[in-house]
Amino acid sequence: MGLDSEAQQALQMVEAQGVGAAGGHKGGLFGGGAPTFLTTKLDFVVNWGRRNSLWPMPFGTACCAIEMMASAASNFDLARFGMERMSFSPRQADVLICAGRVPYKLAPVLRRVWDQMAQPKWCISMGACASSGGIFDTYSMVQGIDTIVPVDVYIPGCPPRPEALIYGLMMIQEKIRGESLADHHALRAEDPHTVGRPRASAEEVARVSVPFGNSTQQDQSSVLPGEAELARTENLPS
């Protein structure tokens, strides 16, 4: 009786996790619910593998890319952290490093590179220009690549030193350490219908591209910095 009931209980637990998972997941052991011994240990092994073999996809467009190259060279040597090689093909890359300013003409290219990367994937926005447009608050420049692709880590600096890039990659590693297969789908996967479309909604783009105050002669969407709501939302466009 004792053994049987324990086994039954465990079976029920597994079933409850698998079938009753929220968010339309396809059943299975890792569909959701409270973590079990099995899933936490598997999470540990999978995350250990993922975080120690992050292959960067370098998307270098400006001076930040010079620092990125220095990070990969012998003095700083990214390979120590498992970023064994720069993967110049998005299909074999895990983490997109967008280093430098992105003009609107390049936006669809960045979006396509991101879409071509296989899950699981992460994104680093390196430097002021990639993160916010930087000093280029002009007609041609994307005001933060997070309006195009989802960003995990923002690295400040103009350009950031190689140590900063390495620290950013280590933060990605920390983030992976805390991830679980159970909620991985919810964490990483984007709505497939947003492929090739802006990640941010129109309101969000308007909100994050508030003028800094030193850009002049504006006749559109200019809001005083104090009046603007600066929070960024997690929501994908509907």
Positions that interact with another protein (CB under 8 A): 104-105, 107-109, 111-112, 137-140, 142-143, 147-148, 192-193, 195-198, 200-203, 205-206, 209, 211, 213-221
Which residue, 85 or 193, is less far from another protein as judged by CB? 193
With residue 60 as reference, give the H or E element that holds it: strand 56-60
Closest distance to another protein from the beta carbon of 203 (Å): 8
User: CB of residue 181 vs another protein: minimum separation in angstroms?
Assistant: 17
For the beta sheet containing 95-99, the strands, ordered from the edge strand earlier in sequence to the opposite edge, are: 56-60, 95-99, 122-126, 153-155
Alpha-carbon distance 57 to 117, whole Å? 9
Q: Secondary structure of the chain: what % helix, strand, coil (to 5)?
A: 45, 10, 45
Strand partners, 141: 103
Instruction: Give me the least distance between CB of 141 and another protein, in Å please.
Output: 9
Q: DSSP 3-state assignment of 170?
A: helix
Give min distance, CB of 86 to another protein, in A.
22
Output the smallest distance, CB 85 to another protein, in A: 25
The smaller minimum CB distance to another protein, of residues 14 and 206, is found at: 206
Nearer to another protein, 163 or 225 (CB): 225
- For another protein, the closer of residues 167 and 212 by Cβ is 212
**Distance between CA atoms of residues 64 and 48, nearest Å:** 29
Q: Closer CB to another protein, residue 41 or residue 193? A: 193
Measured in degrees and rounded to the nearest 5, phi and psi for residue 124 equal: -115, 130
The residue assigned the tokens 């504006």 is 218
Cβ closest to another protein, residue 73 vs residue 187: 187
Strands 95-99 and 153-155: unpaired
Q: C-beta of 32: minimal distance to another protein in Å?
A: 18
